[in-house]
Structure formats: C-alpha cells, structure tokens
Amino acid sequence: MKLNDHTIGAQLSLGLGVILLFVVVIGVSAWIQTNEFHLQTRELYDHSLIVSRALGRLEADVESMSLHVRDLFLAQDHPQFEASRQMLEIKNSEAGQLFPILYDRHLGPRKDIATLEEAFLRWKVLRDETIRMLQAGKTAEAEARIRPGGVQAVQGEIVRSRLQKVNNIALYKADEFYDAATAQTVLIHRQLIGLVTVILLLFGIIARRLLSGVKGPLAALTTATTAFRQGTLDARCGYASANEFGTLAASFNALADQIETEMKIRTQAAELADVMLRNDDAHAFCRELLKTLLQHTGSQMGAVYFLNDAKTTFHLFDSIGLGACGRATFSAAELEGELGAALASHRIEHIVNIPAETRFSLATANGDLRPRAILTIPVLTEHTVSAVVSLASVQAYEATALRLVNDVWRMLTVRVNGVLTFRATQELARRLDQQNHELDAQKRELLAQAAELTRQNAELDMQKRQLDESNRLKSAFLSNMSHELRTPLNSVIALSGVLHRRLADAIPAEEYGYIEIIERNGKNLLALINAILDLSRIEAGHTEVSVGRCSVRELVCELVEMLAQQAINKNIALLNHVPGDLPVITSDTDKLRHILQNLVGNALKFTERGQVAISAAVRHSEMRIDVSDTGIGIEADQIPHLFEAFRQADNSASRKYGGAGLGLAIAKEHAQLIGGRITVESAPGQGSVFTLWLPLECPADGTRIWPDTAARTEAVERISLAPPAGSAPIPGQGQRILVVEDNESAILQLTDLLTSEGYQVLVARTGQLALDQIALAPPAAMILDLMMPDVDGFQVLKAVREKEQTAHLPVLILTAKHVTREELSFLTSNHVQQLITKGDINKAGLLSAVARMVAAPPAAPVLTSRRRRPARPGKPMVLLVEDNRDNLCTARALLEDRYQIIEALDGREGLEQARTHRPDVILMDVSLPVMDGLEALAAIRADESLRHTPVIAATASAMKGDRETILAHGFDGYISKPLDAELLKKMLDDALDYEVHHG
C-alpha cells in the first residue's frame, strides 16, 4: 500500500513517531551522562570536600588549643585559669570527634589518619603534663616545654605536618574528580550535537512528504468547489484515495450530486407551481397539470378523479393516455381498485414491480393493461379525500420523480381544493342569482312581518311598564299593609296595656284577666302579621343580606340563655354542645339568629320530655349546625312539606302546639339568602334533627335591608347618634315631650306612660300642627309618627332639621310602617335617636329611650390632672362585669394569675360590687341586662368614691367608628371581643398606673 493511501492521521503518527524515537534516545543518553556526572560530583562532595572541611576544623582546633595553653600561663587568678582549662578541654573534645569522619571519608591510606591520631594523642599527654606542672608551681619548667624547641612545642609541629600530609592527599583526589567531570561534559556535548542533527534531517524529510500529501488533494478540492460555486453544477473532484482527503472528495461529489438533484426538482416544482397557478377553470387546470406531471415524472398515462356531491363515487374528470377501456368511476365506500389504498391511508401510494406474466389483474385507470409502476395521489379536504390524481408508467419511477411528487403534494392539494372551491363558487353564484329573485318576494313579506313585530314590541313594552307598576304597587302594598294592620293592633295592645295598669285592683280578678288575654293575643296576632309580611318581602325580592363576622358559638350561647327559662318550665334539658374552638364565619348575623331561634324554638315546642341539643362542626368548606330533640318526630311523607308556608306536619299538632306554619318557611328562605340550606332527619316518636349547612364565607353585596321588625329596630338603635353618655333614665321632672300622632289609641297609651313618669305631654295630631307647636315653644324631645295625612313624619323631620334652633332636637320614631332602605338612610342622616315599631312598645324600653333623649348631654371629659394611684397591698383588684358566663370564665382565666378578680353578671350588680370593693379598675361589657354598660358608667361617674376609677369597655362591636363612639361616652379604654390576652393586660397595666380625673 502506498504511503498516500494511509490516513492523514497514520502518516502524521508515523513521522512524529520517528521524531519522538530520536527524542527519546537523546533523553536516555542525557539521563545516563547526567547520572554519571552526578555520581562524580557526589564522590567529590562525600570525600574530598568533607575531608578538607574536617582537616580545616582539626587544624583550627589545634591552633586554638595552643592559644589556650598560653592563656593558662597568663591567668591572673584561679577562675581565669579554670576558664582557659575548660576551653582547652572543649576544643580537645571537638578535635577528637573529627577523627571518625576522617577514617570514614578519607580516600588515601588509612595509616595516615592513624599516624595523625597517634601524634595528636601524644601531644595531648604532653599538654596535660605541662598543666600539672603549672598547677604544681613549676612554672619555669612548664614554660620551657612550650617554648620553641621544647618537647610540647616539637610535638605540636609533628601534628601540624601530618595534618598537611593528609590534606594534600585530599586535594589530589579532588583534582582527579574534576578532570573526570570535565571529560564527561565534553562527551555529552558531542552526543547531543549528533542526535539533534539527525532529528532535524528526519523532520525536514517527513514535513516535506506530509505537505505534498496535503496540498495536492486540497488544490483539487478547491478547484472543484470553486467551479461548483460559480454555477458549474456538474463539476466534480477527481482525487481518489483511501485517506481523509479521498473521503472528503467523495463526500463533496455526493453533496454536489444531491444539490444538482435538488435544483432539478425545485426547477420542476416551480414549473408545476406556475402551471397550477395559471388557471382556475377546472378543465384547463387539470389538462395542464397532467401534461406537466407526465413530462417530469416519465409517466405515459394520467387521470384526475373528482368525488361527487353525494360523496359515494369518484368520477373521471380528465385524462391523458387513457384507453377506451379505462375505468370511469371508483367507489368511495368500497375502497376498490388502485384508489382504495390511497383512500384508506390518505397518503401517496406507489405500486411497483408489477410482473407482466402475473395472472392477477388490477382494475386500473388503463383497464387491464399492466404498467410496471403506478402513483396514486390523494387530494385532502378537511381529512376527506375529495379528488385523486393517478399516474402510470411502463417503467419504474426514478427517485427524483417520486421526490418531485412528494414535494408538490401539499401545493397540489391546496390548488386542487382552490379549483374545486372556485367551481363550487361558480355553482353557488348561479344558485344565488336564482335565489335573489326568490328573496325579493320574501323581502316584501318580511317588511310586512316587521310591521307586525313593531306592533307586538309596543304591546310588550306596555306590558313591561304594567309589570313594573305592579311591582311598585306590591311594594307600596307591603308598606301600607304593615301600617294598616299594625295600627289597629297597636290600639288593641296599647289600650289593653293602659287598662291593665289603671284597673289593677279596681275590678274583679276574672275581668282583669280578660284584659291580660286581650293584650297577649293581640301581641300573638302582631307576631303572625310580622311573619306574613316578612315572607311577603322575601318572595317579592325586597330582602337583602348584611354580611359581617359572626361567632356561631356566641350566638348559640345567647339563644340558650334566652330560651333557658322556657326549657326549665317544660322540664327539658337544653344542651349547648358547640365547641369553643369553632371558627368565626362571615354571614348575616341577624338572619342566622332568626333561623336558629326558629329551629330551637320549634324543638322546645314539640318536645314534651327529654332534651334539645345544639352542636356544630366544620366539614370541608361548610359549617354544620345540628338542632336535635327527643320530641314527637315527623312522618317521612310529611318532611317534604315542612318548609311550605302555612303548612304543618300534622293538623292535630297545629291545634295542640299552635302556630301558623310560617317559621320554617321563613327560616328556609333566610338560609338560602345567606348561601345555606336546611336538612331534616326524623322518625315518629324518635325525635328530629334539623341541620343548617352554612358556607364559611358568605359573599357580601354591600347593601342592607332588614326583613323583620326586631332586626330593623336594632339597626336603627345601632346607628342612632351617640346617646348621651352617663345619663341614667330619670323621671321627667316636668320636661315637655311633643307627641306627633294621628291615632287616638296611640296618643292615649303614650300620654298615660309619660305622664305617670312626670313628663308634660304635648299632642299634635297633624304634621303642620307639630311644626307650629315647635316654632312656638321647642319641646325637650319629640315622638314622631311617620304616616300622617297632609304633612307626613318625613317632611316634619326634614323641616325640623333645617332650622338652626331645632337642628339637634332629640327625635324618637314610633311607627307601624315598614321602613325601606332608602327611608332608613334618610332617618339616619337626620339624627334620629331611635325607631320603635307600634305594637312592640315596651314600657321600660320606651321610658329609658325618652330619658336618654331628654337627659342633659354631659360635658366632654377634660383631662385636668394625673396622679399616681396609691398601691393596694397584694394584687390589684379588677371588677369583671359580663353577662355571658363563657366570656366571664375566659376573662377570669386570662387575668387571675396577676389580679384579684371580682365578678358581676349585670350592670346593677356591677355597680353594687364596685361600691362594696372599690376595685382598682373595671372591665365592663356595654350590652348588659337590668342596667346596661352606659347607665352603669353614668352611675359610677356620679359616685364621688368611684368617679376616678378607670372603666374599660369590652364589646363584640368592632365596626369602623365604634371605638370613637364608645370612648365618647366617657370610658377610659376600649377592647373588642374576642379578648387579646397581651393587649388586655397592657391596657389594665396602663389604667392601673395612672387614672384620669374628669372635670
């Protein structure tokens, strides 16, 4: 094999290998020679140099000892003598240590070292004898020994001569080592020069050979690629070899072949594209397409088949070279013939190597003529074959022809679909032209129908206005019915109450009992009317949701405490199983209270013995509240009707237990309003379980309308303008109250109640008379009805507030009207003190409200001074005033480790405890029974011994502005429930540190 046939890597490896071999030879030779040179140098160091150093040190020690002997003669006293003697011994010892080195490293005769050592030892003996003579006082004799010619001096010269002899031998050996090293260096230089010369010659030969093997192929490749780049597509590289350049040349030639083929295919594809873009007419398009395909693929036959409108058969549309016996149709459903495979696969099918002598016949576009190869090209429209192009050749197709067909397939599909679309468009245009004539007739008919629709729309608009008016009248009806039904009932209830107070002990007990029956049944009827109106408002869509944070546990505790007496009267256990760690939810508190009150009230009503239990738990994203009882139970077929209005499970039960069947209906509607539902499980004689399911988060819509009287009244009480702090209800003492009312029974009731407390009552039966009376002499307060003839209560209130002298006149609303959201907003903005519904008048509550209105507003607390509280022995004392025992227990647990705790369950008890124990600080709930927190605070401030005691308000009211309102009443601090332990302790510590004096 020629060297050029080897790979470039092999050639480079061979040349570099030879050079590397000589480099190795140079390295090995240099290593051997340098190692020899190293050995000679080490011999020179280990023997000649070390021996010379030892002889030098020995000679120095000999001279030093001679000097020290002289110092002995010159010593002035004994210490100097001993010092010189010790130095003499040290030098003698050092000299003695050098003889083993000389024996070991000296290359001359060993006897020379022995003779030297013998002379040195004799010199030592003579020296020691001289020292003894000197110590014995024979100084002259001793001095004679060391003088020139003396025995010790002569022996010293012998030692020195023998030292010189040994030293001369060492120097001679060093010269021998140097001469050998010089000769070795010359030899190494000659060897290196010879080897480097040979390597350079070989490198030149190898480099020349390799360059010639690289430059020749590169020149050939450069010539070929340059010609190809300049457009000579048949340019090829003629270099052939088995090495890399031969492989590169072959790769270039293959690449050039491929590019030439690609260019040819692209040219043909461009010609086909140009042909396909020339015509939109189906016949012209297909004829030109088939001619170009036959030319570029070498086919002898071509045909185009289109799918019919029924999508069942492919019909021959155009062909070239097709005989008379060719197939005119193919079934689309049966997938028959040459089209079958393409229809099934949706790909180009290529049938090849069809033998001429085969006994099988294939139904082709050319009948029974058997070509050598067939190409079937499907045209797809939305995954359906809509046309087929068939080509046939008596010879096998070349790869370039197949490649061309595959490359233009997508473009062919798009253009054929375009032609088919154009064809369909032409057909559609023909049909549209025909339909336009029909549409002209239909247009005239539509114009007539449009006129009819206009008339119907006018009727619908009229019906819509009537429906809106109906809704407005329904709302007005609800408001009027609220007034018209409550007004006569108010008369019955009010007058029966007046008779009940005035005729006590004045008539027989039986007749006095009739009055109680009238009053009790009047209130029952009022409650029924309120329930009916509430249900009507719900059904009319006038009830909305007021969303806020709601503690189910606190709500259940409140209901259990409220209904406890009813359970005790029936000897039934009322159990609260709601866990303390139940989370706070977001819902409408008033509606939730109404639902639970109804469920628990029903459970107590229909339970004769046993228990009623309330439990709650969180399940996923819902809260489940169960009200279970051991009552009479409910039949299964009656459960679906429980929540229907005016329906009860059993008419006999209705007669026995009473009720109109509205409670559960309203409860169901309220539950749906707050996103919840109520389910029931019950069996006759086994009790019932009513379950309220509530979402943890009820979405708020930012609006509020109160569905029942109690809730509406509570709302107005909450938004009333800061009642005067610290004013306890006191008798009227002749203060004038203006009653604006057109109902005589209501006037009689109010007059009776107010005059009995010492108030002077003025009556105005119309709004105008009220305005005239106020202009004449403004009263201390006004009780105003809203629905009156001519000038109603709203107009009176607006006129009063517009005048400066009556802008702050206290006003209490007493009405039977259902107050809408807009009306409630108007009353709030005009500083109404309180709203009370007729029929729900409570004597104590009304008198308390009137007393608060007429009480002189207290002066704002003035911070006059601060002083340190005197320290109480032991822990500070804290008075907790809280009506909820659970909250009381919680506060006691938080504080009892640091404070003395005393407790009270209502405002009056709290005041008595404060006067008895004089606590250091008072933590008081605002909403308390018997005497509320505001009244208790006023009494504390009025007591000289308590007026400086800090009082902190604890309340569940945490809305915006509540803190400022509560502090404005005179409390020294404010904390919201649930209590934060750290915040509470800090507030108590601050209050105990200093107290504020009110001036």
Residue 717's pLDDT band, with cuts at 50, 70 and 90, is very low
- All CATH 3.30.450.40 domain ranges of the chain, comma separated, are 279-407
Neighbours of 399 (CB within 10 A): 10
Q: How far is CA 802 from the centre of its chain?
A: 54
SS3 760: strand
Residue 616's pLDDT band, with cuts at 50, 70 and 90, is very high
Helices and strands of the chain, counted as H and E runs: 27, 25
> Does position 363 have pLDDT exceeding 70, yes or no?
no
DSSP-derived secondary structure for 900-926: EEEEESSHHHHHHHHHHH--SEEEEES
CA distance 456 to 450: 10
Which residue type, as a one-letter code, is found at position 168? N
- All CATH 3.30.565.10 domain ranges of the chain, comma separated, are 544-695
Question: Taking each helix axis from N to C terminus, what angle separates 793-802 and 821-829, rounded to the nearest 10 degrees?
Answer: 30
Residue 621's pLDDT band, with cuts at 50, 70 and 90, is confident
Going by DSSP bridges, is the β-strand pair 611-619/313-320 parallel, antiparallel, or unpaired?
unpaired
> Does position 482 have pLDDT exceeding 80, yes or no?
no
Mean pLDDT across 979-998? 70
Burial of 517 (0-12, 13-18, 19+ CB in 10 A): exposed
Residue 575's pLDDT band, with cuts at 50, 70 and 90, is very high
**pLDDT attached to residue 957:** 56
**pLDDT attached to residue 660:** 56
Question: Taking each helix axis from N to C terminus, what angle separates 509-539 and 409-502, rounded to the nearest 10 degrees?
Answer: 170
Angle, CA 244 vertex, CA 243 and CA 246 arms, to 5°: 70
Say if residues 377 and 348 touch (Cβ distance below 8 Å): yes
CA distance 261 to 774: 113
Name the one residue in this structure whose structure tokens are 């028959």. Answer: 336
Mean pLDDT across 567-584? 90
Mean pLDDT across 642-661? 57
Q: How far is CA 687 from the centre of its chain?
A: 47
Q: What are phi and psi of 520, to 5 degrees?
A: -65, -45
β-strand partners of 679: 691
SS3 427: helix
Residue 714's pLDDT band, with cuts at 50, 70 and 90, is very low
Which positions ≥6 away from 390 have C-beta within 8 Å?
A: 301, 302, 303, 304, 305, 338, 339, 364, 365, 374, 375, 376, 377
Which positions ≥6 away from 644 have C-beta within 8 Å?
A: 661, 665
Could you read off the pLDDT of 218-242 as tens digits, one per residue? 877 888 888 888 878 778 887 777 7
CA distance 31 to 25: 10
CA distance 552 to 585: 8
SS3 319: strand
Q: Could you say which of 3.90.190.10, 3.55.40.20, 3.30.230.10, 3.30.565.10 is the CATH number of the domain covering 544-695?
A: 3.30.565.10
The better pLDDT of the pair 274, 4 is held by 274
> Does position 925 have pLDDT exceeding 60, yes or no?
yes
Q: Characterize 797-819 residue by residue with b for buried, 16 or more Cβ atoms within 10 angstroms of its Cβ, and e for exposed.
A: bebbbeeeebeebbbbbbbbbbb
Which residue type, as a one-letter code, is found at position 443? K
The better pLDDT of the pair 860, 849 is held by 849
> Does position 613 have pLDDT exceeding 90, yes or no?
yes
The better pLDDT of the pair 913, 283 is held by 913
> Does position 728 have pLDDT exceeding 50, yes or no?
no
Instruction: Please name the helix (run of DSSP H) or strand (run of DSSP E) that holds residue 152, with its range, or none.
Output: helix 151-229
Q: Answer whether the bond into residue 978 is a cis peptide, omega within 30°.
A: yes
Mean pLDDT across 405-412? 84
Neighbours of 403 (CB within 10 A): 17
> Does position 418 have pLDDT exceeding 80, yes or no?
yes
**pLDDT attached to residue 44:** 67
Mean pLDDT across 645-659? 53
> Does position 441 have pLDDT exceeding 90, yes or no?
no
Could you read off the pLDDT of 299-332 as tens digits, one per residue? 888 888 888 888 888 888 888 877 665 667 888 8
The better pLDDT of the pair 222, 4 is held by 222
CATH of domain 279-407: 3.30.450.40
Residue 670's pLDDT band, with cuts at 50, 70 and 90, is confident
Kindly report the length of the chain. 999
Mean pLDDT across 65-71? 84
β-strand partners of 693: 624, 677
**pLDDT attached to residue 951:** 93
Say if residues 943 and 915 touch (Cβ distance below 8 Å): yes
CA distance 943 to 796: 40
- All CATH 1.20.1440.210 domain ranges of the chain, comma separated, are 10-212
User: How far is the CA of 99 from the CAs of 114, 160, 711, in angstroms?
Assistant: 9, 15, 127
CATH of domain 10-212: 1.20.1440.210
Average pLDDT, the chain: 79
Architecture of domain 863-998: 3-Layer(aba) Sandwich (3.40)
User: How far is the CA of 655 from the CAs of 651, 652, 660, 661, in angstroms?
Assistant: 6, 5, 10, 12
Query: Which one, of 835, 762, 764, 846, lies nearest residue 799 by Cα?
Result: 764
pTM above 0.75, yes or no: no
**pLDDT attached to residue 541:** 64
Could you read off the pLDDT of 151-191 as tens digits, one per residue? 888 888 888 888 888 888 878 777 777 777 787 778 778 87
SS3 779: coil
Q: Could you say which of 3.30.360.10, 3.30.1200.10, 3.40.50.2300, 3.30.200.20 is the CATH number of the domain covering 711-854?
A: 3.40.50.2300
Q: What is the CA radius of gyration of the chain?
A: 64
Which positions ≥6 away from 430 have C-beta within 8 Å?
A: none
**pLDDT attached to residue 859:** 34
Mean pLDDT across 262-268? 80
Which of 374-378, 398-402, 854-858 is predicted least confidently? 854-858
Say if residues 715 and 704 touch (Cβ distance below 8 Å): yes
Could you read off the pLDDT of 142-162 as tens digits, one per residue? 888 888 888 888 888 888 888
SS3 387: strand
**pLDDT attached to residue 97:** 86
> Does position 880 have pLDDT exceeding 90, yes or no?
yes
Which of 335-339, 476-480, 831-835 is predicted least confidently? 476-480
> Does position 703 have pLDDT exceeding 50, yes or no?
no
CA distance 559 to 553: 10
CA distance 945 to 875: 21
Which positions ≥6 away from 491 have C-beta within 8 Å?
A: 743, 744, 745, 746
Question: Taking each helix axis from N to C terminus, what angle separates 244-278 and 8-43, rounded to the nearest 10 degrees?
Answer: 140
Residue 879's pLDDT band, with cuts at 50, 70 and 90, is very high
- All CATH 3.40.50.2300 domain ranges of the chain, comma separated, are 711-854, 863-998
β-strand partners of 697: 586
CA distance 906 to 244: 109
